[in-house]
Amino acid sequence: MIRVNNLSFGYYKNKKILKDINFHVKEGEIFGFLGPNGSGKSTTQKLLMGVLSGNQGDILINYEDIKNKTRLFYEDIGVLFEIPYLYNTLSAVDNLKYFSSFYKKSNIRDIEELLDCVELKTEYRKKQVKHYSKGMKQRTSVARSLINNPRILFLDEPISGLDPAGAILIKNIIKKEKEKGTTIFLTTHNMFVADELCDRVAFISDGYVETIDTPRNLKSTYGDSGESTLEDVFVKLTGRRLSDG
């Protein structure tokens, strides 16, 4: 569904952030892209979306080389960027109406139903987004990513900015999407989120994919005890920590 071969990229000449990234996301799986802050997760997602260009190597999404992408390319894709891409002077409802206009009508989900799904408070739905808390913006952004009923979903740090109840809600939405057969590419530095949600994870460090496997295999192969976490495995394999703390 998604194939990345020998991907390399730098924002500046002679300073590559991504050096040689290779992975393959299977149809219907949740694939976690794990790395510490600044390791290039968001950069990778932006390259996969064609928001950034100038990379070397090949990116195929839905069996199509993104170099040849047309407007139709985005029809089946939902994206949650790390920073909410919403119009601050529009309400959640009007943002979703606006973004709906880019997609085929037959794919569009009901806006109120979607806002019920992300549990955005009813009294805020028609208020300007600039009055929303970080968590409310995140909920609206998640709704935005699902508006076109995508077959492939790109989620950059989907749980960030949410309180524990919000985090559970969004994790359940992600699980439901998987049940529907949606393919999900999820970037995070949160090992618990990855462990709970992902079928397979890739560890990214210093511009390379260190390893790719199921969380269970990684913990049983590299963990020292039954209580080993993905964080322990990540440190063991890369010598770096996933989280700042």
Ligand X SMILES: Nc1ncnc2c1ncn2[C@@H]1O[C@H](COP(=O)(O)OP(=O)(O)OP(=O)(O)O)[C@@H](O)[C@H]1O
Q: Which residues bind ligand X (CB under 6 A)?
A: 11, 17, 35, 37-43, 82, 189
With 0-12 CB in 10 A as exposed, 13-18 as middle and 19+ as buried, what is 144? buried
Closest CA to 175 of 76, 41, 29: 29
Closest CA to 173 of 141, 125, 129: 141
Closer residue to ligand X (CB): 83 or 165:
83
* Shortest Cβ 182–ligand X spacing (Å): 22
Closer residue to ligand X (CB): 16 or 109:
16
Instruction: Report the 10 Å Cβ neighbour count for 56.
Output: 12
DSSP H/E element including 205: strand 200-205
* Shortest Cβ 166–ligand X spacing (Å): 19
Rounded Cα gap, residues 212 and 1, in angstroms:
16
* Shortest Cβ 101–ligand X spacing (Å): 28
Closer residue to ligand X (CB): 83 or 168:
83
Rounded Cα gap, residues 185 and 164, in angstroms:
22
* Shortest Cβ 33–ligand X spacing (Å): 9
* Spatial contact of 184 and 177, defined as CB atoms under 8 Å apart: yes
Closer residue to ligand X (CB): 179 or 244:
244
* Spatial contact of 92 and 99, defined as CB atoms under 8 Å apart: no
Closer residue to ligand X (CB): 17 or 235:
17
- Give the total residue count for the chain: 245
* Shortest Cβ 18–ligand X spacing (Å): 8
Closer residue to ligand X (CB): 189 or 200:
189
As a whole number of angstroms, the longest Cα–Cα distance in the chain is 52
* Shortest Cβ 54–ligand X spacing (Å): 12
